Chains A and B, each alone.
Chain A
């Protein structure tokens, strides 16, 4: 119930294309869904996040779409750039108490070709 399943494992996109990464979860008590971006040799950095009462959130070229009934959320990167090449992790935060922690997806390695 604490799992977050992420796909695809790797993604290759041409410059200017749209990158789409999907995540699915089981625990309906999750209350916060962030996406992290990680470059080689660096720790993950928060990219964008959404709460389950919102269906979409956009920040620049990055958009999260959230489908509460399907228990799925996705990251869309518009006009993908070579500098976006990194590993992307979705995550979900558990409810209060001992489950108040982030559960991460397995990661998607994105390569944007010039």
Chain B
């Protein structure tokens, strides 16, 4: 069974730009959660999508948004990038959500210059 895939793996953007990250969950998984990982703040929950609906949201500004498609693939968008958005963005998939084991992808390393 293929694992969670994330594209691209690495991304360099400049301040003010916007970026879209993609996550393909494990086949059969309907929940996709996104996390931001930084050395200073650790792993922080961004949001969770289940069956194309945002089910939970963490404490991040509205510049961070996401969506999920009917095939459970998910995208995360960050608008008006700031230097502090440089991080590893991880997505995790599971069958039903946080109640199930979450399987993480390798992440997308975003660098904002």
Give Cα A102–Cα B99 distance, bound, in whole angstroms. Answer: 10
Return chain B residues, CB-CB under 8 Å to A36.
104
Instruction: Write out the residue numbers on chain A whose beta carbons fall within 8 Å of the beta carbon of B28.
Output: none
**Cβ contact within 8 Å between A89 and B48:** no
Q: Is A52 an interface residue (CB 8 A)?
A: no
Q: Total interface residues on A, using CB and 8 Å?
A: 19
Q: Decide: A43 near B43, CB < 8 A? Known: A93-B98, A101-B98, A102-B98.
A: no
A100 within 8 A of B: yes
Task: Number of B interface residues at 8 Å Cβ cutoff, please give it.
Answer: 23
- Chain A residue nearest to B40 (CB atoms) is A106
**Cβ–Cβ < 8 Å partners of B44 in chain A:** 104
Residue of B nearest to A107 (CB): B42
Residues of chain A in range 73-103 having any CB-CB distance to chain B below 8 Å: 89, 91, 93, 98, 100-103
List 18 additional A-B contacts (Cβ < 8 Å) besides A46-B102, A101-B58. Answer: A36-B104, A43-B105, A43-B106, A43-B107, A44-B43, A45-B103, A45-B104, A93-B99, A100-B55, A100-B97, A100-B99, A101-B33, A101-B45, A101-B48, A102-B33, A102-B98, A107-B42, A107-B43
